[in-house]
Amino acid sequence: MNPVLANKQIVVGVTGGIAAYKSADFVRRLREAGAVVRVVMTDHAKAFITPLTMQAVSGHPVYDDLFDLQAEAAMGHIELARWADAMVIAPATADVMAKIAHGEANDLLTTLCLATRAKLILVPAMNQVMWENSLTQANVQALQTKHMYIWGPGTGSQACGEVGPGRMLEPITLVEQLSALFMTGSLSGKQVLITAGPTHEAIDPVRYITNVSSGKMGYALAESAIEAGAHVTLISGPVHLVPPVRAEYIPVISARQMYNAVLQRVKDCDIFLSVAAVSDYHCQSVASQKIAKSAEQLTLVLERNPDILATVAELPTRPYLVGFAAETDHLISKAQAKWTKKKLDMIIANEVGEQKGMGQEDNTVTVLWKNQQKAFATMSKVKLARELIALIAGEIHNGRSH
Ligand code: CTP
């Protein structure tokens, strides 16, 4: 069994092209590699290969209808979109690529593509002239800029009798490429504890102090660590994100709740990623009733919260410690100072401020660790998370720490 694909949850989308006959072999090979597969077919796909065949090879009934009440009751389309670690559309016709590129969602498959956060891979198969058509090429470019993967097409003789680019890649190649995409297994068997999001510090029953953290970076790191084979515990402040399906998820509100949750679990973990933007202070006293306005000025007395990361750093057996430094100025020197002061193994420094870092989709970071420094180009938090996990895994395997 392929350890990288073991238990990976893959949605295979089949659209209407002659290469659909290869989809059955692709699904069979994915299952042999240990993946769990659900198949979604378009109506046109069924002209080329039967749902019964795809059901037999995947071991599950095929999904084909956006409005199928029975299927929705078993696993609704949004649930299926969340369930997937990757969606591979093989073959992908010019038509489905155009629809996805334009954000259309008028059937189950295209709806899933819009609704999923999984890796989305399109495996084109079509006549070579259609492939080379500038409209198709513009769609390919649009899909790539949305971080979708386009694998192939291969070049050779085509079902239509022409020779050129447009052949669907072979199933065995797709399985290899999919394994490579999940890369790693680099954190296989590791316990990873992650804090994410902001904390809320109550002022009265309806008001609190917080910050602009969205939790996106922490959640993306949780996803990537799971992808890399780790068992992940995600302790999250209040955010508007769906937790990764396979993380152990512990929601908290305040910094002190987060502190307690971390200290309860940290002794079992190998790596602690302290991504949360923890409030440094809480209100000395929380009003039991809503504070009504009266005087012109209102003074809140704030007390220091415990520093979670620094506390973990002092434990007799500590995990590999990764902190974040979100700074508006003097990024590197301040991050360096925090690395030293908090006795971290690694610190990830990012500039924050208007339109930067916290709350955004993209992030620009510099990573500092033992005499080393690496600046990453601006990229999506999802992509950055994969790179950071690869870097951390490399350090763990080399046994390097503070
Ligand atoms: N952190 C923590 N507990 C706190 C405050 C911060 O665990 N009470 C962690 C954060 O998760 C982050 C790192 O410490 O990984 C740095 O957080 P940051 O807010 O940048 O720094 P502070 O230590 O709070 O220092 P300052 O507010 O002076 O910049």
CATH number, domain at 59?
3.40.50.1950
Domain identity same for 317 and 382: yes
Closest CA to 87 of 224, 165, 181, 212: 181
The continuous run of DSSP H or E covering 218 comes out as: helix 216-227
Q: Is 96 exposed, middle or buried (0-12, 13-18, 19+ CB in 10 A)?
A: buried
Do the domain assignments include residue 175?
Answer: yes
- What does the pLDDT read at residue 288? 97
Strand 365-369 and strand 372-375: pairing?
antiparallel
Decide whether any atom of ligand 1 lies within 6 Å of the 26 Cβ.
Answer: no
Do the domain assignments include residue 4?
Answer: no
Closest CA to 4 of 246, 192, 176: 176
The continuous run of DSSP H or E covering 326 comes out as: strand 320-327
Domain identity same for 201 and 338: yes
Candidate of 234, 280, 330 to mutate for ligand 1, largest count of ligand atoms within 8 Å of Cβ: 280
- What does the pLDDT read at residue 111? 96
Specify the ligand 1 atom closest to the Cα of 312.
7
Contact 377, 356 (CB under 8 A): no
Domain identity same for 230 and 370: yes
Domain identity same for 368 and 347: yes
Q: Please state the φ and ψ torsions of residue 68, each to the nearest 5 degrees.
A: -80, 110
Contact 14, 90 (CB under 8 A): yes
Can you give the length of the chain in residues?
402
Compute the distance from residue 144 Cα to the ligand 1 centre, in Å. Answer: 36
* 178, amino acid identity: L
- What does the pLDDT read at residue 183? 67
Domain identity same for 174 and 196: no
CATH number, domain at 390?
3.40.50.10300
CB count within 10 Å of CB 391 equals: 18
What DSSP assignment string belongs to 3-26? TTTTT-EEEEEE-SSTTHHHHHHH
Last residue of a domain, one of 148, 164, 182: 182
CB count within 10 Å of CB 289 equals: 8
- What does the pLDDT read at residue 385? 92
Domain identity same for 177 and 263: no
Domain identity same for 135 and 259: no
Domain identity same for 159 and 226: no
Do the domain assignments include residue 218?
Answer: yes
Domain identity same for 265 and 352: yes
- What does the pLDDT read at residue 338? 95
Do the domain assignments include residue 2?
Answer: no
Taken in order 261, 265, 266, 272, the sign of the CA dihedral is negative
Candidate of 278, 320, 321 to mutate for ligand 1, largest count of ligand atoms within 8 Å of Cβ: 278
In this structure, what token pair is assigned to residue 169? 């890649």
Last residue of a domain, one of 124, 159, 182: 182
Using the 8-state DSSP alphabet, how is residue 377 labeled?
P
In this structure, what token pair is assigned to residue 171? 């199933």
Domain identity same for 46 and 175: yes
Catalytic annotation, residues: 160
* 94, amino acid identity: A
Specify the ligand 1 atom closest to the Cα of 324.
15
pTM: 0.66
Question: What is the radius of gyration, based on Cα positions, of the chain?
Answer: 24
The CA-atom distances, in angstroms, between 332 and each of 32, 89, 169, 369 are 48, 43, 45, 12
Domain identity same for 262 and 294: yes
What is the distance between the alpha carbons of residues 139 and 119, in angstroms, rounded to a whole number? 18
Last residue of a domain, one of 115, 149, 182: 182
What is the distance between the alpha carbons of residues 128 and 166, in angstroms, rounded to a whole number? 5
- What does the pLDDT read at residue 58? 97
What is the distance between the alpha carbons of residues 363 and 389, in angstroms, rounded to a whole number? 15
- What does the pLDDT read at residue 76? 82
In this structure, what token pair is assigned to residue 33? 């590699």
In this structure, what token pair is assigned to residue 396? 């763990």
Closest CA to 127 of 107, 101, 156, 104: 156
Compute the distance from residue 400 Cα to the ligand 1 centre, in Å. Answer: 23
Q: Is 106 exposed, middle or buried (0-12, 13-18, 19+ CB in 10 A)?
A: exposed
Report how many domains make up the chain. Answer: 2
In this structure, what token pair is assigned to residue 116? 């999923």
Decide whether any atom of ligand 1 lies within 6 Å of the 312 Cβ.
Answer: no
Give the residue numbers spanning the domain of 258: 191-397
Taken in order 393, 397, 400, 402, the sign of the CA dihedral is positive
Q: Give 10-residue mean pLDDT values along the chain (402 residues).
A: 73 97 98 95 97 97 84 79 94 98 96 93 96 97 90 88 91 91 81 98 98 94 90 97 88 98 96 98 97 94 98 96 95 95 96 76 92 89 88 85 60
Domain identity same for 53 and 142: yes
Closest CA to 109 of 29, 25, 9, 39: 39
